[in-house]
Amino acid sequence: MKLYLLQCGIIQSWKHLFTMGRGVNQPFAVPVPFFDVFGDGSVQIVFTPGHTPGHQSLLLHLEKWGPTLLTGDSVYTNEILDEDVLPGLVYSPADAVASIRKTRELRQLHGVRIITGHDPSAWAGYAKAPAYYE
């Protein structure tokens, strides 16, 4: 499998528009089943509601680059993931916090690389198509 990254969807930053408090650092305690798209663990859909009621992220298990989560709009920027900042536009703040916790747990406990949907600083460091990650 190859992952081609095209371009970051840049949005205006709503830095610290909402704060989540200390609770966001608590691990996501409930085991969350992922939908295995091909039945081989290579591509899994992770339910990450909050931005919208049915938001989903994509967990790729790349042979050389390792497990990688494409967050889409569940985590716009690394700032949201690393600090107690709630995204500016959410359908459900409670669901958004739970999805951020889930994403943090995947990174901290399982070594999953996180690619956020709208972080120009992070995207500047990624290879773009026609380059790819395996």
| Residue 125 burial (10 A CB sphere; 0-12, 13-18, 19+) | exposed
Going by pLDDT thresholds of 50, 70 and 90, the confidence category of residue 100 is very high
**What integer pLDDT is reported at residue 114 of this predicted model?**
96
pLDDT(97) > 50: yes
pLDDT(29) > 70: no
Query: Using one digit for the tens of pLDDT, what is the confidence trace for 68-78?
Result: 999 999 998 99
Closest CA to 116 of 61, 107, 108: 107
Query: Using one digit for the tens of pLDDT, what is the confidence trace for 33-53?
Result: 688 899 888 999 999 998 888
Q: How would you classify residue 103: left for phi > 0, otherwise alpha for psi between -120 and 50, otherwise beta?
A: alpha
pLDDT(133) > 60: yes
pLDDT(88) > 70: yes
**What integer pLDDT is reported at residue 115 of this predicted model?**
95
| Type of residue found at 77 | T
Cβ-proximal residues to 25 (8 Å cutoff; 6+ apart), any chain: 84, 104
Comparing 96 with 32, the larger pLDDT belongs to: 96
**Global confidence as pTM:** 0.78
Domain boundaries, the chain: 37-123
Closest CA to 7 of 85, 90, 119: 119
Fold of the 37-123 domain: Metallo-beta-lactamase; Chain A (3.60.15)
Q: What average pLDDT score do residues 111-131 get?
A: 91
Going by pLDDT thresholds of 50, 70 and 90, the confidence category of residue 84 is confident
